[in-house]
Amino acid sequence: PEAFEEAVGALGICEKDRIVVYDDQGLFSAARVWWTLRAMGAENVAVLDGGLPKWLAEGRLVSDAPPSPHAKCFSATFAAHRVADSRRVKAAIASGSETVLDARPSGRFSGAEAEPRAGLRSGRMPCAKSVPSGSLVGPDGRLKPREELRAIFDAAGVSVEHPVITTCGSGVTAAIISLALEALGHGPHALYDGSWAEWGLKGNNPEDFPVEAGEA
Catalytic residues: 168
Phi, psi (rounded to 5 degrees) for 142 = -105, 150
Q: Taking the CA atoms of the chain, what radius of gyration do you get in angstroms?
A: 18
Q: How many of the other CB atoms lie within 10 Å of CB of 43? A: 11
Q: Estimate to the nearest angstrom the gap between the alpha carbon of 97 and the chain centroid.
A: 20
**What's the rounded Cα separation, in Å, for the pair 139 and 170?**
23
Nearest to 108 by CA among 175, 188, 168, 184: 168
**What's the rounded Cα separation, in Å, for the pair 98 and 85?**
13
CA dihedral 92, 194, 127, 200 (to 10 degrees): -140
Q: How many of the other CB atoms lie within 10 Å of CB of 149? A: 21
